[in-house]
A and B are shown apart, each in its own frame.
Chain A
């Protein structure tokens, strides 16, 4: 009924008739004496209730029909171009797949012509999936024709790659549960795939997998993903060889008998799979120990007990995503790379400026655009080698100009910070005193207002005290910290990008030499 618009419209047309009948019933009940007895009223109420229910249901069905229609039309519009690509493909090797696509398109068109948009949408979704699979097969065929050297030069990342390394993605991943995870059946299928599928058992094994992980994906989807997985293995090995990286280790089943096919492993596979556009099961096989995080995994069971962290703990999830990022970078030269997530702290920094009453946005205009051009959009690395030195000089000049242009902002900020840590305390104290005064005055009249003011006093005191306490804390820390042997600063500070250590060393020379 959801999509049968004729039935919906027919029912809708009935409503005025039902209402006429209701009115007739009411008139009859009033009869000669104008009094409606209890039995008559119950009958009227029942009919009214039925009409209301029917009206609501019709409206809901109608809305569902409209929603389906809109969704169908949007989807058809989105896949129109890809459908044309499929229709234009005359390669005999894909004729069967092409037929499946055209059949699904016909079914969708047929349902749409009958205004049955629920069915049309189902067909269109199936059509979309078939088109994706078709295009992936065609692309796999093309990639299969490439040499290892050629594969090293191209990107096999999925469009979704950038979304994989976001906080939102990690939050969702944390609670994800995978069909078949932890079952012996899934483990067995993964072991079979790991050994390699032949033309004799490929369909059978992928059928078993589809049964375990549920449909979709269908066997055809998994088959296309398996083909892509084999191409990814080829790329992984070629890039790994070039970098002198050994092939990723397999899982030591003696130590980790439950890891293969576990939710933790599939979580890692999901990250990698989304980044590379393949099902998580195949992605786990690219780096089988991915997702095996934490010291507990290094211990020999039974010899030294060590608790395992709950896999949905965000720290463990971070480790899993970290593993995937490392693998992608090492073996496929993909990933966000220089993923500066400044937005995370931007709000806090600018809140700080707001607190001390500064507006600095204006100062970036002009110089900032030049710096951005040379430093980012054009990209120093992307500049021609001959022009690189000049570009670097221009970048330096622009940064120095900006540094000077910000002198006024620094002066304002300095003054405000100084007020916060000392002189301003008096002003703040005045505000606190005033607030206290008003508070006392109002206490008798409005308890609620007094509470608000009390909170304001606490807030002001907290802001001042926090900054002053922090400064005192920093001074105190000097005597509390260990004196360490100074060697090369760059050796003692963790991972540094190229040029960072050199800069730190240059400035350290003014202190330690």
Chain B
């Protein structure tokens, strides 16, 4: 696992050579100038080129031709044309923190942004490690080892329960969960995870082609104060069932890995 930090102008400059502006999981804005002082895009790119050269990431001479280092080349190609992106979005008040993992060929690359605007790029050895990083980022619980209780319902029913739980109608929400088949203990745990999570967010598997997310497998991930993690997801389309299941770091990591493997088999 190795990490480098890059200025957004460095990335913007490099992306432009791959004819890419939007990065899956981020769009384009984070790589564009954010302040008046950053000036027009031409200066932004020139600044990016200068920073890359200074950091030894853009090598060679103008006369003989310039090249990105292998490290930057593989990072740019992975970000610009991934086959798979894991997008972890963690709730922080009304806002969110973002962490994405991009895969292409043999590269598994994590991307986050610091408060100063710098991007952190982390190379992971494999997808298992990167998935664990995403699940850890979302604050999932360490246990139970195996996935726990599971309720198959619908989007409408669970949305209503969520609404009740977050509007202070804990008892009504729990009662509805019990009616769907949850034990009273699990119902209380789910209700707490919905109403007052200690950590919450989304983990989305985005299957990509031509730098477009073609299909998504999103999971809402909620952990309550008792360190119970519940995930909520539609196994098929939104018109199909919606499932809520007790999960954990190993269980969610396994679910993601198996889901990706299944997708690959079905898409091969």
Name A residues whose Cβ lies closer than 8 Å to a Cβ of B: 167, 293-296, 298-299, 304-316, 318-320, 322-323, 325-326, 336-346, 348-353, 355-356, 360-361, 364, 368, 371-372, 375-376, 392-393, 395-397, 399-400, 402-403, 406, 409-411, 413-418, 420-422, 462, 466-467, 469-475, 477-478, 480-486, 489, 491-497, 499-500, 502-504, 506-513
> What is the interface size of chain B, counting residues whose CB is below 8 A from a CB of the partner?
134
- Distance A423 CA – B99 CA, assembled complex (angstroms): 27
Question: Contacts A400-B240, A494-B24; is A414 near B251 (CB within 8 Å)?
Answer: yes
- Distance A477 CA – B255 CA, assembled complex (angstroms): 22
Listed by A's residue number, 30 A-B pairs whose Cβ atoms lie within 8 Å are A306-B46, A307-B66, A315-B17, A315-B68, A318-B80, A319-B20, A345-B127, A346-B264, A351-B126, A364-B266, A368-B266, A372-B266, A402-B262, A403-B236, A414-B251, A417-B128, A417-B132, A462-B125, A471-B132, A474-B99, A481-B114, A481-B115, A484-B98, A494-B26, A496-B212, A500-B214, A504-B216, A506-B238, A512-B94, A512-B96
Starting from the known contacts A306-B42, A469-B1, 6 additional A-B residue pairs (CB-CB under 8 Å) come to: A295-B45, A306-B45, A339-B210, A413-B253, A470-B136, A473-B1
Number of A-B contacts (CB under 8 A): 384
Task: Give the distance to chain A from B87, nearest Cβ to Cβ, in Å.
Answer: 7
Partner of B95, one of A471, A486, A496: A486
Residue of B nearest to A489 (CB): B89
Whether the pair A421, B209 counts as a contact (CB closer than 8 A) is: no
Whether the pair A307, B159 counts as a contact (CB closer than 8 A) is: no
Task: Give the distance to chain B from A469, nearest Cβ to Cβ, in Å.
Answer: 6
Q: Name which of B1, B128, B251, B253 has the most chain A CB atoms within 10 A of its CB.
A: B128
Q: Render B93-133 as a binary contact track against A, CB cut-off 8 A, 1 for contact.
A: 11111110001111010101111010010101111111011
- Distance A353 CA – B265 CA, assembled complex (angstroms): 13
Whether the pair A414, B234 counts as a contact (CB closer than 8 A) is: no
Q: 3 shortest A-B CB distances, which residue pairs? A: A474-B136, A474-B133, A310-B65
B23 partner residues in chain A, CB cutoff 8 A:
494
Whether the pair B220, A500 counts as a contact (CB closer than 8 A) is: no
Task: Give the distance to chain A from B7, nearest Cβ to Cβ, in Å.
Answer: 14
Whether the pair B147, A414 counts as a contact (CB closer than 8 A) is: yes
A341 partner residues in chain B, CB cutoff 8 A:
83, 209
B97 partner residues in chain A, CB cutoff 8 A:
477-478, 481-484
B126 partner residues in chain A, CB cutoff 8 A:
348, 351-352, 355, 466
Task: Give the distance to chain B from A510, nearest Cβ to Cβ, in Å.
Answer: 4
Whether the pair A349, B257 counts as a contact (CB closer than 8 A) is: yes
- Distance A295 CA – B14 CA, assembled complex (angstroms): 9
Q: Is B183 in contact with chain A by the CB < 8 A criterion?
A: no
Whether the pair A313, B268 counts as a contact (CB closer than 8 A) is: no
Partner of B26, one of A309, A355, A493: A493
Task: Give the distance to chain A from B267, nearest Cβ to Cβ, in Å.
Answer: 5
Question: Contacts A471-B133, A483-B97; is A510 near B19 (CB within 8 Å)?
Answer: no
